[in-house]
Amino acid sequence: MADNEEVVEENKQGLLTNQFAFQPEEIIEIDGVMYAVYFDTGEALGDFPILAKIDNANFMTVGVEPISLDMESFALRYGYVFRGHEDLLVSEILTGEDEEDYREVFDVVEAQFEAKAKEDGMSWLLDTDVQAAFLAASLTGTPISTDDLEGTEWYQNSTEGERNFMLQYYSDPDKVAKDIGTNMASIKEGIVSRNMTGPVNELARTIAMMVTTGQIKPDEVDTYLDYIDDSAYLDLLGGKELLPEGLQGFVGQFTGVNTGQSTAKGLIVDTLGMGAYEAMVNNNSFYKIAARVRAGDIDGVKNELQMQHDVLYPMFKGSNYATWNGYYSNRASKLINGTTGGQLVKLTQSQQDTIDDLIVKANGDYMKFDEEIRTTFIDSPGIKNKFLDDLASRVPQAFSGVF
């Protein structure tokens, strides 16, 4: 008799077709969307419904009719509010030869969590305290705020951008999806414009996710692309550890005409300044230098650039532009813009070129350099206001009331 019962059990048809090893307890329909319902029975707050969206009606056994629910009847039936979205897709529940990798559907959910945490910047999914907070929110219907998560390990180790993304992900998922798409299109365009050859779509998606989720800042994208595009440049600066962990795997995967260019640009800017780099790009000599770098002649390029530096700036012979120029440029910026202390206004490239010429004209002498700046930029707000202030201070006190 027992043997017959086992045969009956093996042939029992589930709610999903027999290709699925993990069968749900129920199939429901809310707002026109069907879900396979699995229960996580290990929660202190009660059996928690795991919802697998049925993304293909053919996955259901013929004749099965879903239970029609609305948000109110869902809460009454399961003791939790309906969260408005699925936990996974039925098609993501691996079957056949792959089923040995999973003991039950909750292993699939956990695998999905890990993938989203790694690939989509949703690392809060792996923090059990954060999960508990979300379960409590599902039970009560009270939205999650960052204040509820301050004591979690995820909160302590996350950036403000990552925390803002988490709130946006749940409050306005459509905007998140739109932002990811916009960022991906923009980043892909930047990659293509560099003529980079490799897994372009994968890189664009990864960076777009990292920008959208607050893991990196938008103004860091070009720098990271420089590193990935030119591994020689990255090695020169210190290696792939300069990249976020999520981008390190792309090092060495791209080849193209830009190889050597980031390295060449860095060497030129450090030794001769941005103005020299732009001039070399305009007269095409830059690309010859990049080709030499690509061929492995980095030392030869360095020596040649150093020789040019020592001819242009003999008073700083043996040094390089990046080492000495900052002091003069910051000094000039404060005089031109009238700022003090740590306040600095970035100079335009035209101003920078003029200041570089004045450094040479003053032969590096600070006092003479200041005089040249005051004369050349006499109409700038900082110098004009300083002149008026000095003039006013010289007016005798007895006449001050006239003005």
**In this predicted model, what pLDDT tens digit does every residue of 110-125 receive, in sequence order?**
555 455 545 555 666 5
Range 184-200 burial, b when 16+ CB lie within 10 A, else e: bebbbeebeebebeeee
- pLDDT of 175 reads 82
- pLDDT of 8 reads 37
What DSSP element (H or E) covers 373? helix 366-376
Inter-axis angle of helices 221-229 and 200-212, nearest 10: 150
- pLDDT of 23 reads 84
- pLDDT of 72 reads 85
Distance CA 339, CA 39 (A): 65
Q: Which residues of the chain have pLDDT under 50?
A: 1-11, 96-106, 113, 117, 398-403
Range 213-231 burial, b when 16+ CB lie within 10 A, else e: bbbbeeeebeebbbbbbbb
Quickly tell me which residue has 């900082």 as its tokens: 382
